[in-house]
Homo-oligomer: A and B are copies of this chain.
Amino acid sequence: MHDAIRQRRSIRRFTREPVSDDLVEEILDAARWAPSGLNNQPWRFAVIRDARVKERLASLTRYGAIIRSADVIIAVFFDTASGYDWTKDLQSIGACIQNMLLAIHESGLGGVWLGEILKSGSEVKSLLQAPDAYEFMAAVAVGHPDGKPPRAPARRPVSELVFYRK
Chain A interfacial positions (CB closer than 8 Å to B): 1-2, 4-6, 8, 10, 25-26, 28-35, 37, 39, 41, 43-50, 53, 75, 77, 85, 87-88, 90-99, 101-103, 105-106, 113, 115, 118, 128-131, 134, 137-138, 152-158, 161-166
- With beta carbons under 8 angstroms apart, the residue of B91, B101, B131, B158 that contacts A97 is B91
- With beta carbons under 8 angstroms apart, the residue of B85, B138, B164 that contacts A46 is B164
Across the two chains, which residue of chain B brings its CB closest to A32? B155
- With beta carbons under 8 angstroms apart, the residue of B6, B103, B131 that contacts A5 is B103
Copies of this protein, total: 2
- With beta carbons under 8 angstroms apart, the residue of B28, B50, B77 that contacts A166 is B50
- With beta carbons under 8 angstroms apart, the residue of B39, B94, B161 that contacts A94 is B94
- With beta carbons under 8 angstroms apart, the residue of B99, B129, B153 that contacts A39 is B153
Q: List 30 A-B contacts (CB under 8 A).
A: A1-B1, A1-B103, A1-B105, A2-B30, A5-B99, A8-B33, A8-B35, A10-B35, A28-B158, A29-B158, A31-B161, A32-B161, A33-B152, A39-B154, A41-B155, A43-B161, A46-B165, A47-B164, A48-B164, A48-B165, A75-B164, A85-B115, A87-B118, A91-B137, A91-B138, A92-B94, A94-B98, A95-B95, A95-B97, A102-B102
